Structure 1
Amino acid sequence: MSSENGSFTADLDRGWIEVVIEIPKGSRNKYEIDHETGEVWLDRHLFTATSYPADYGFVPDTLAEDGDPLDVLVLLDASTLPGCHVRARPLAVFWMEDEAGPDAKVLAVPFGDPRWEHLQDLSDVPPHLLSEISHFFEVYKALEPHKRTDVGRWGSNEEAWEAVRDSKAREAAHRVGSGE
């Protein structure tokens, strides 16, 4: 099943989703892309001495439970730039919550890249890398007033795809409900 609706692009049969990168791996800057104009804005510099453990972005035309597009971390050999589009293959999902509510983070790798083909599901991801990512989300807002995070658990590849499908359905229902 191939899907292209609005700017949401994915090939669910082949197993990839489109991800727009907002924050490159290693950055302490929290960038946000304005979904209306496409402009990249510096939202804030992280208050903690931590940096993003992977390129971080979102799936266009999705709506996660926190009211934003679905978040994705893409494991890459070299970081990209804010605004870069990546075809990514979901591996797992990290379930957490912040001050805005439930906040799923899909973990993915570049689609078709042979360097990452050995990773197919959560069980294939090195446990230490999962711990690094979990730790980042546990502490990255720790020094910010009125912000909080509650880390949850890692979920399987199947759960990651379910998060993608649910966020796309939520966005479609939102469009219908708002008359777009």
Structure 2
Amino acid sequence: MSKQKEQSITVLIESPKGYRQKFDYEPESGRIKLSKLLPEGLMFPFDFGMIPETKGEDGDPLDIIVLAETGTFPGCLVDCRLIGALTADQTERDGKQIRNDRYIGVSEVSRQFANIKTLSDLPQDILPQLEAFFENYNTQAGKKFRVLERLETEAAYKLLNK
């Protein structure tokens, strides 16, 4: 296994597993702010946050979903290993199209996902469910989210470091 695959990254959780609330980190204040509520029946399947000191095409830090058996809390820093990414196009409400990839990590303290090193190691139902969540989440916000490709660990690190 290459060094790159073993590299740990620290992420900031914005919206925890099981929450309907969507929180966003505000760099100006250094605080977490409630930005919206997801519709009834829709909640984050795992902790969702961002990779500090990065910037995506949408101008925000890169998004990451962190797999673990329990959720944390808004503002929690979590060390995790990157296991892959979903490259995606997002069509905004105004019709503008941007890349808005989603990285997938595993919490370093997770026991349930301790042996997951790549997307291929995941139970086969998790990725389609994550993709459906992101598609539905964006549809509810008046946007369209389309997964282009699933990247395994090494390709995800290359994209992250780009």
Question: What TM-score comes out, normalization by structure 1 length?
Answer: 0.78
User: What is the rounded CA distance, in whole Å, between the counterparts of 2:86 and 2:43 in structure 1?
Assistant: 18
1:93 counterpart SS class: strand
1:110-162 deviations in Å (ceiling 9; x for gaps): 126454331111110111011110100111122334x2222323111112111
| Cα RMSD (Å) | 2.0
Alignment pair present for 1:83 and 2:79 = no
Alignment pair present for 1:52 and 2:48 = no
Matching residue's letter, 1:154: R
Alignment pair present for 1:161 and 2:153 = no
Aligned residues between the structures: 155
User: What is the rounded CA distance, in whole Å, between the counterparts of 2:126 and 2:107 in structure 1?
Assistant: 17
Q: As a proportion of its length, which structure holds more strand?
A: 2
Name 1:22's counterpart in structure 2. Answer: 14
CA contact (8 A) 1:88 1:111 kept: yes
User: What is the rounded CA distance, in whole Å, between the counterparts of 2:105 and 2:86 in structure 1?
Assistant: 11
Name 1:136's counterpart in structure 2. Answer: 133
Matching residue's letter, 2:58: D
Name the larger-Rg structure.
Answer: 1
Question: What TM-score comes out, normalization by structure 2 length?
Answer: 0.86
Q: As a proportion of its length, which structure holds more helix?
A: 1
1:136 counterpart SS class: helix
CA contact (8 A) 2:25 2:32 kept: yes
User: What is the rounded CA distance, in whole Å, between the counterparts of 2:21 and 2:127 in structure 1?
Assistant: 22
Name 2:88's counterpart in structure 1. Answer: 96
Name 2:61's counterpart in structure 1. Answer: 69
Does the C-alpha gap of structure 1 residues 131 and 14 become closer, same or farther in structure 2, counting only changes over 3 Å? closer
Name 2:144's counterpart in structure 1. Answer: 148
User: Any runs of at least 4 consecutive aligned residues in structure 1 with deviations exceeding 3 A, and if so which?
Assistant: 11-14, 112-115
Matching residue's letter, 1:124: D
